Structure 1
């Protein structure tokens, strides 16, 4: 791991003067709470340039290829990872091999909590879903930094609060919504975030595999494949290789409501 010195490019990405990133660059998660769709405020958003440089000077840069693991469920905690580019999926894997995705996190967010000062074991795993880069901020450094930079401590609390709401939202969806309702909800959410006007409806421009969708709604890949085929037969969606076009958002909304 190489020592990381804050570059002008990275400072620009995280600059407090920059507007808060739109929802599509913050987080993708399964929730019915509209206040969670935009994601949390970027961790370094409210720090001065000097404070940001101080934080980043304690970090180490890591570059990840698509599919590369950032941290493993059951491994020791050692601080957090600030995402500077790409997309990190955080998920839990059961002993059976089944997975459930908590969220996809994007630049400005941090992953690797909740024990940000180190100690304890990771309850989730994190993996890069595309070429990504992060800054690892060790636990001992974080403890010192929050004593010197109050706004960093506030940002961490706000970020952990948001993540706690994500856990709650996921539990609520899994416990109160059928898997069909969850799939309809997810497709509508993807249209909101990544929808592009198409001659047949709204093209979801970000590529998600059937396995990706299954991990988000708590189903098997086979179930998702069969369900998408059924929706296509009904004229609700149109599958084009790895892309999905939503033709009937009204019908998905009815399904989301249990109709």
Structure 2
């Protein structure tokens, strides 16, 4: 079921999928000149917060969580990136170290593009620079919305919002007619919502009893998206 008219999903999702789409051939040749593709196992770190930014990462396959770790060692997941998206480019543009960490949520294939090739192409491509500016502007709006809403919403509402957003993330790789299965650990879900595992388990049980979803181990299937949107308090 589509979220059109039900939930403003664009306020929650970044838009980096289109940054490299259909760039002119000569720009692609420069950008991909020294690109290296690598397979990652589930849970493998792609880059760490504070590391020197040596390039950007293009997700060919899989899902990547972007997160920060607090002084107590607890993760706060900022975003889940899908296949087709870029990560790591903020640090290159700002000429700073990576501001967060990235790790795989599932087996993934990621292409690494060296910093020098990215900068060389960016300096010569009006298309790439415009797309990056548009993507960054939208990301700022998404993060501002997330901070504002999450500061005012209850844990139950935040969980509902997170499940709606994750459903869209996993929908992208689900064949038409098949049920959308959210494959995520309870600890990662808790780190996205900003609460403890016990709260996640309690509210998932409540949602399950209400017929909103079914679950088995890591897998969650949303059965009543309308009721979940109502629970989130963020309907269109």
Unaligned stretches of 5+ residues in structure 2: none
Q: Does 1:249 align with 2:236?
A: no
The one of 1, 6, 23 equivalent to 1:47 is 23
Change (3 A) 1:165 1:147: same
Equivalent residue for 2:144?
168
Q: Distance in 1 between matches of 2:52 and 2:121?
A: 21
Equivalent residue for 2:130?
154
Question: What does 1:82-161 correspond to in 2, within 5 Å?
Answer: 82-117=58-93, 119-161=95-137
Q: CA deviation at 1:224?
A: 0.2
The one of 138, 149, 155 equivalent to 1:179 is 155
Deviating 4+ runs (over 6 angstroms): none
Change (3 A) 1:118 1:80: farther
Q: CA deviation at 1:194?
A: 4.4
Larger relative contact order (Cα-Cα within 8 Å, sequence gap ≥ 6): 2
Q: Distance in 1 between matches of 2:57 and 2:151?
A: 30
| 8 Å Cα contact 2:37-2:112 kept in structure 1 | yes
Unaligned stretches of 5+ residues in structure 1: 1-22, 24-30, 197-201
Q: Does 1:79 align with 2:71?
A: no
Change (3 A) 1:36 1:235: closer
Change (3 A) 1:133 1:237: closer
Greater C-alpha radius of gyration? 1
**In angstroms, what is the RMSD of aligned CA positions?**
2.9
Q: Report the TM-score when normalising by structure 2.
A: 0.80
Change (3 A) 1:101 1:205: same
Q: Distance in 2 between matches of 1:41 and 1:69?
A: 21
Change (3 A) 1:254 1:44: closer
Q: Distance in 2 between matches of 1:61 and 1:136?
A: 6
Larger mean CA deviation between 108-117 and 38-47 belongs to 38-47
Change (3 A) 1:90 1:60: same
Aligned residues: 225
Larger mean CA deviation between 237-246 and 74-83 belongs to 237-246
Larger mean CA deviation between 208-217 and 135-144 belongs to 135-144
| 8 Å Cα contact 1:33-1:169 kept in structure 2 | no
Q: CA deviation at 1:41?
A: 4.2
Q: CA deviation at 1:145?
A: 1.8
Equivalent residue for 2:212?
236
Q: Distance in 2 between matches of 1:38 and 1:72?
A: 20
